[in-house]
Amino acid sequence: MAPLEPTTQSLLPSWVRILDTTLRDGQQSLWGMRMQAGMALPVADLLDRTGFSVVDFAGSSHMEVLIKYKRENAWEGLDLLRERIHRTPMRGGMRANACISFGVSPDALMDLWIRRLNEHGVRSYWIYDVLYGIDNFARLAKIAKEYGSEVVGTVFYTISPVHTDEYLAAKAAEIAAIPDVDGVLFYDTAGVLDVERLRTLLPKIVAAAAPKPVEIHANNLMGTSGLTYVEAVKCGVTVLHTAARSMANGPSTPSTESVVRNLELLGIEHGLDTSLLAPVDEHFRAVGLAAGHLVDQVSEYDLFNVTHQVPGGMVGTLKAQLEQHGMTHRLDEVLEETGRVRAELGWPVMATPLSQLVGTQAVLNVVGGGRYELVPDQVVAYAAGHYGEPPAPLDPEVLDRIMAAENAARVLASPPEQPTLEELRARHGTGLGEDDLLILKALIPESDIEAMQAAGPVARDYPLLPPEVAEIKALIETVRSPYVRVANEHWSLDLKR
Per-residue pLDDT at 59: 85
Digit-coded pLDDT (tens) for 13-28: 899 999 999 999 999 9
CA separation (Å) from 234 to 9, 16, 183, 240? 9, 11, 18, 12
8: pLDDT strictly greater than 90: no
For residue 435, being part of any structural domain is answered with no
For the chain, the domain total comes to 3
Do 44 and 85 lie in one domain? The reply is yes
- Contact call for residues 134 and 175 (beta carbons, < 8 A): yes
In this prediction, residue 488 carries a pLDDT of 77
Q: Tell me, yes or no, whether 485 lies in a domain.
A: yes
Confidence band for 316, pLDDT divided at 50, 70 and 90: low
pLDDT of 7 over the 50 cut? no
Mean pLDDT of 36-42: 97
The pLDDT of residue 6 is: 44
Give the Cα separation of 195 and 391 in Å (integer): 25
Share of the chain above pLDDT 90, in %: 77
Closest CA to 22 of 189, 270, 290, 256: 256
48 vs 352, more confident: 48
Say if residue 232 is in the same domain as residue 325. Answer: no
DSSP designation for 299: -
**Domain end marker among 387, 412, 437:** 412
For residue 49, being part of any structural domain is answered with yes
> Are residues 240 and 374 located together in one domain of the fold?
no
Determine how β-strand 483-487 pairs with β-strand 492-496: antiparallel
251 lies in the same domain as 316: no
Whether the CA torsion 330, 334, 340, 344 is positive or negative: it is positive
Contact predicate 310/359, CB 8 Å: yes
In a domain, 459, yes or no: no
Per the domain annotation, does 376 fall within a domain?
A: yes
Q: Which residues pair with 492 in a beta bridge?
A: 487
**Does a structural domain hold residue 441?**
no
- Interatomic CA distance for residues 376 and 321, integer angstroms: 14
Judge whether residue 353 has pLDDT over 60: yes
Tally DSSP H helices, then E strands, for the chain: 22, 10
Average of pLDDT values for 80-100? 95
**What stretch of H or E contains 493?**
strand 492-496
Whether pLDDT at 3 is above 60: no
CA angle 65, 69, 74 (to 5 degrees): 50
pLDDT band at 47 (very low <50, low <70, confident <90, very high): very high
Domain of 229, CATH number, reads 3.20.20.70
Rounded Cα distance, 327 and 321, in Å:
9
Assess contact for 231 and 198: CB atoms under 8 A: yes
Q: Among 239, 243, 270, 238, which residue's Cα sits nearest to residue 254?
A: 243
- Pairwise pLDDT comparison (322 vs 237), residue with the higher score: 237
If asked whether residues 406 and 269 sit together in one domain, one would say no
Q: 113-138: string of b/e by CB count within 10 Å (b at 16+)?
A: bbbbbbebbbbbbbbbbbbbbbebbb
Co-location of 184 and 242 in the same domain: yes
- Say whether both 140 and 194 belong to one domain: yes
CATH code for the domain of 321: 1.10.472.90
94 and 243 assigned to the same domain: yes
Which among 444, 491, 440, 434 is positioned nearest to 467, based on CA atoms? 491
What would the pLDDT profile of 115-149 be if each residue is shown by its tens digit? Answer: 999 999 999 999 999 999 999 999 999 999 999 99
Confidence of residue 266 (pLDDT cuts 50, 70, 90): very high
Euclidean distance between the first and final Cα of the chain, in Å?
53
User: Is residue 494 classed exposed, middle or buried when 0-12, 13-18 and 19+ CB atoms within 10 A define those classes?
Assistant: exposed
Q: Which residues touch 409 (CB under 8 Å, ≥6 apart)?
A: none
Confidence of residue 470 (pLDDT cuts 50, 70, 90): low
Chain segment 407-429, per-residue pLDDT in tens: 999 999 999 999 999 999 999 99
- Position 444 in a domain: no
Residue 213 inside a domain? The answer is yes
Domain boundary at 373, 390, 412, which? 412
Same domain flag for 262 and 116: yes
Domain containing residue 64: 12-291
CB 380 within 8 A of CB 357: no
Rounded distance between C-alpha atoms, residue 246 and residue 52, angstroms = 18
Q: Is residue 319 predicted with pLDDT exceeding 90?
A: no
Confidence of residue 9 (pLDDT cuts 50, 70, 90): very low
Please identify, among 362, 396, 412, the residue that sits at the C-terminal boundary of a domain.
Answer: 412
Q: What whole-number distance in Å separates Cα of residue 439 and Cα of residue 333?
A: 39
d(CA 108, CA 387): 17
Task: Inform me whether the pLDDT recorded for 313 exceeds 70.
Answer: no
Does pLDDT of 475 surpass 60? yes
What's the mean per-residue pLDDT of the chain? 92
Residue 305 has pLDDT above 90, yes or no: no
Same domain, yes or no: 183 and 103: yes
pLDDT score for 10: 46
Element (H, E) at 483: strand 483-487
Residue 351 and residue 382 in one domain = yes
Dmax (CA) for the chain in angstroms is 71
Q: Are residues 261 and 328 in the same domain?
A: no
